[in-house]
Amino acid sequence: MRKHRITLLKSQEIELKEWLVNHPENNERGAFVLFRQLAKPAGDLPVSHRFLLVEIIRLENDWVIDSSETHLTINMRNLPELFFRCESENLVLGFIHNHPNGYSNFSSRDDRNELNILKGLSSSNGQSLLISLVLTENKWIARIRSSEDSKTIIPVKHVSVLGKSIELHNINLEEENSESTKRQEAAFGKPFNSKLKSLRVAVVGSGGTGSPLSILLARSGVGELILIDDDTLDKSNMNRVFGFKGKDVGKKKSISLAKHIKKLGLGTKVISIEGYLHESPEALDALSSADVIFGCTDDLKGRDIMNQALYYYAQIYIDTGLTGFVDMDSDGYPYLRDHRGRVSCILPEFGACLRCQNIVKDEWIEFENATKENPALLELDTETLRKEHYLIGGGEQAPGVGPFTSMTASNAMATFMNLIRQFRMTSSDLRLDNVWIDFIHLYFHSNEPDNNPDCIYCRKQDLLMKEEVKYRLDMPSLGEFQK
């Protein structure tokens, strides 16, 4: 049976908890909530929609007929306005309440309330969904009903709460873990592996960082994995990629890597999508279905899209990159003057976006576009590019060397694990959203982001869970989508 996923922002959870648990007589309290539904396909992975909470309506005053510590009776006459909003704004209705007495499951009274609400909702709007959440013992439990078959429960895979980390509730605790993940359980505790199994992860790029990272994700027990890349494997890649054989040269990286992961037999469901985010609607739709995104590409267009997607789709975004400079010594031999690997970890309400981190800039995207159309521009120095072609970019070299790309991938994986079960005790001079490894001098450091109060991404948050009206990410170049 399909299992869907529910996403709350930490600020929303704080607001809900403050309302639910502070009744002066310790009675049940409730709220209606409105969700945006992300129901785009992801290859042949099991159907698992994501529901993003976008609005909270507290049940107080004339909403409440009666309440005690074991029940809440609501005024159904107030519901038609919410029914109309769900239909006209393409939203899904949710009902949230608490169990002050600590009862740890849905009650028979909850059953009756849900069926009554769903009956009114379906009478008004036709076929509808109702999402129910209960706060009990400081944890969320959740389920979904459909008017098509109101008595059948649609299970929820997890409820994720995104703040500085990811909290996962309502997960199915595995009775037995596989032999390959028992040591993870010993390090991080029993729920850790079950949490990983509940997640769908997308990795954009299957090269020097993307291939080792994808294999690490599979070996860790992540439940579902989406590999997005349209590049073919070149012989020059073989010094740093994982999971490939000589016979894979000339084939699509994402296809070959997915085959390798399937052969590991570790239980991770993996699909490959041969496309770039700015060219493939299928790739972007699959990306929107993920809980976590890893950016492992040097494609600035792709990074810019992922930088927007994390806010629209309320996702965790971990981006990797390498930079460096090759100089010549006195004998005319090249040497690495500078080489560093970066991991940027950004959540919807935490961390500076890639533009504020100076990873993505419009002039660099323009340079990237120009050099793809005319590769000869890459041979020119930065001054000539600026004066004669009005382009800003070039001059920086980051040769792909296996230990550096794989070390960056490992740090990205460790960053991901730290979001689920915090273990890092970092110094005050390191930012959790931006960590660089200096491979030459062997130290870690962070760069301070731009202090831009007008940033629409991470400061003003104008795009946070914004509805896509007609085009994917509201960008005509990415094509229209079917609602």
Q: What is the pLDDT of residues 400-432, one digit of tens each?
A: 889 999 999 999 999 999 999 999 998 889 999
Q: Could you tell me if residue 174 is inside a domain?
A: no
Shared-domain flag, residues 62 and 184: no
Shared-domain flag, residues 157 and 231: no
- Can you tell me the distance from the alpha carbon of 160 to that of 419, in angstroms, rounded to the nearest whole number? 12
- Can you tell me the distance from the alpha carbon of 41 to that of 178, in angstroms, rounded to the nearest whole number? 29
Q: What is the pLDDT of residues 225-234, one digit of tens each?
A: 999 999 999 9
Per-residue pLDDT, 244: 97
Q: Which two tokens stand for residue 121?
A: 């909702």
Shared-domain flag, residues 161 and 200: no
Q: Could you tell me if residue 421 is inside a domain?
A: yes
Q: What is the pLDDT of residues 244-265, one digit of tens each?
A: 999 999 999 999 999 999 999 9
Domain boundary among 112, 136, 169: 169
Shared-domain flag, residues 257 and 275: yes
Q: Could you tell me if residue 194 is inside a domain?
A: yes
Shared-domain flag, residues 233 and 379: yes
Look up the CATH number of the domain holding residue 468: 3.40.50.720
Per-residue pLDDT band at 126 (split at 50, 70, 90): confident
Per-residue pLDDT, 335: 84
Shared-domain flag, residues 251 and 350: yes
Shared-domain flag, residues 145 and 221: no
Q: Could you tell me if residue 75 is inside a domain?
A: yes
Look up the CATH number of the domain holding residue 9: 3.40.140.10
Shared-domain flag, residues 188 and 125: no
Q: Could you tell me if residue 184 is inside a domain?
A: yes
Shared-domain flag, residues 369 and 223: yes
To the nearest 5 percent, what fractions of the chain are helix, strand and coil? Answer: 35, 25, 40
Shared-domain flag, residues 185 and 163: no
- Can you tell me the distance from the alpha carbon of 47 to that of 107, in angstroms, rounded to the nearest whole number? 28
Domain boundary among 135, 169, 203: 169
Q: What are phi and psi of 185, to 5 degrees?
A: -60, -40
pTM here?
A: 0.95
DSSP annotation string for 374-417: -GGGGGS-HHHHHHHH------------HHHHHHHHHHHHHHHH
Shared-domain flag, residues 119 and 202: no
* High-pLDDT (> 90) share of the chain, %: 78
Cα angle at 323 between 450 and 276, to 5 degrees? 85
Burial 242-278 (b: 16+ CB within 10 A, else e): bbbeeebeeebbbbbbbebbeeeebebbbbbbbbbbb
pLDDT at 200 over 90: yes
Domain boundary among 134, 169, 204: 169
- SS3 state at 22: coil
Number of domains in the chain: 2
- Can you tell me the distance from the alpha carbon of 36 to that of 45, in angstroms, rounded to the nearest whole number? 21
pLDDT at 325 over 90: no
Q: Could you tell me if residue 152 is inside a domain?
A: yes
Q: Calculate Rg over the CA atoms of the chain.
A: 24
Per-residue pLDDT band at 184 (split at 50, 70, 90): very high
Amino acid found at 430 = L
Q: What is the pLDDT of residues 288-314, one digit of tens each?
A: 999 999 999 989 999 999 999 999 999
Per-residue pLDDT band at 392 (split at 50, 70, 90): low
Per-residue pLDDT band at 367 (split at 50, 70, 90): confident
Domain hosting residue 163, numbered range? 4-169
Shared-domain flag, residues 202 and 120: no
Q: Could you tell me if residue 263 is inside a domain?
A: yes
Q: Could you tell me if residue 483 is inside a domain?
A: no
